[in-house]
Amino acid sequence: MATAGIAASPRVGFETLPASALAGGAICLFWLAVALAAPWVAPYDPIAQDLNATLLPPFGAHLLGTDNFGRDILSRIIWGTRIDLQMGAFGVLFPFVIGTTIGAASGYAGGLVDTLLMRLLDVTMSFPFFVLIIAIVATLGPGLISFYIALAQFLVIKHADFVLAARSLGYSHARIALRHILPNAIMPAVVFSMSDAVIDILLGSSLSYLGLGIQPPTAEWGLMIAEGQGFIASAWWIAFFPGLAIVLLATGFSLLADGFAERFGIRD
């Protein structure tokens, strides 16, 4: 259970970010813009059905085609952006905040409390995460997956690295901590957040695909793929384009993470 090493100087200099970070940043900003501008950019209502226009192929009146209910795929993808972005952000922020708080508190308390917590960490870190998620869903019912993901991560205190970094904050005095340790600890945490966003987006869309997440008729990318699976022989576009969107969004975060890791010398 190792914390990331920092090879570069502790000062955060953004001037020299590598191309990957810039490309990733651009992609993420693009999706953010899409999500925010959805009401104005989407050509059709995502859940409006048009039974005269079912299973239309792409590059016609409907740029990415329609599904078996005549719903416009492009609009559904645009509106779905909000949900998947939310999955990424939520599933990352929650454990980050909780983990950092617990870690700092533990480091500050020190002694027995600290040791116990670290032992607890050892145990929970080996817990199979995905299985836990599914079990939670089984219990509490589908829907609200962002919350479930965050909850499961909290239970497993998945990002021990946040905790460990925060712990060092607890050990030292606030001033030293803020001036010196925080900048060093923040960067790996940021990189992990972005890698995590990818994992959470994939997780959330997987759950929706299985029918255990977002429920129809809401437009969510994973759900759309599930709905389209029955038509892959005849109307491949229904399942194909949402997947492309997932890949593009996730790649944006991955590139960002890679770029930051390269710039600030952080290794896995």
Partner 1 sequence: MHRFRFVLYRPVQLIPVLLGISLVTFVLVHLIPGDPARILLGVRGTKAAIAAIHHQFGLDRPLAVQYLYFLYNLSQGEFGRSIIYKVPVLTVVGGRIAPTAFLLAYAVLLSTVLSGLLASLAAANRGRTLDQAVRLFSTIGLGLPAFWLGIVLIMLFSIRLGWFPVSGYGEDFADHLWHLFLPALTLAAALSPVLTRNLRASLISESTADYVIAARAKGLPRQVIFFHHVFRNSLIPTVNLLGVNVGWLIGGTVVVESVFSVPGMGQLMVASIFARDYLVVQAVTLVLALGVVLTNFLVDIVTVALDPRIA
Q: Is 72 in a helix, a strand, or coil?
A: strand
Query: Shortest approach of partner 1 to residue 129 CB, angstroms?
Result: 6
Nearest-angstrom CA–CA distance, 191 and 255: 10
Among 206, 214, 220, 223, binds partner 1 (CB under 8 A): 206
- Is 89 a binding residue for partner 1 by CB under 8 A? The answer is no
Structure tokens at 187: 């960067």
- Is 240 a binding residue for partner 1 by CB under 8 A? The answer is yes
Contacts of 63 (CB under 8 A, 6+ apart): 43, 74
Nearest-angstrom CA–CA distance, 218 and 102: 36
- Is 219 a binding residue for partner 1 by CB under 8 A? The answer is no
Query: Shortest approach of partner 1 to residue 99 CB, angstroms?
Result: 18
Residue 177 is given by DSSP the state: I
Query: Shortest approach of partner 1 to residue 217 CB, angstroms?
Result: 18
Query: Shortest approach of partner 1 to residue 242 CB, angstroms?
Result: 8
- Is 171 a binding residue for partner 1 by CB under 8 A? The answer is no
Among 249, 260, 264, 266, binds partner 1 (CB under 8 A): 249
Using CB under 8 A, which of the segments 36-44, 48-56, 72-80, 235-243 binds partner 1? 235-243
Among 97, 131, 144, 174, binds partner 1 (CB under 8 A): 131
The residue type of 171 is Y
Give me the helix-helix angle, 237-263 and 19-36, nearest 10°: 130
Structure tokens at 45: 């209502």
Residue 4 is given by DSSP the state: P
Size of the site for partner 1 (CB under 8 A): 52
User: Is the Cβ of residue 86 or residue 168 nearer to partner 1 in the bound state?
Assistant: 86
Among 147, 210, 216, 218, binds partner 1 (CB under 8 A): 210
Structure tokens at 107: 């480091």
Contact 92, 196 (CB under 8 A): yes
Nearest-angstrom CA–CA distance, 87 and 145: 8
Binding site for partner 1 (CB under 8 A): 20, 123-124, 126-140, 155, 198, 201-202, 205-206, 209-212, 222, 225-226, 228-229, 232-233, 236, 239-240, 242-243, 246-251, 253-255, 258, 267-268
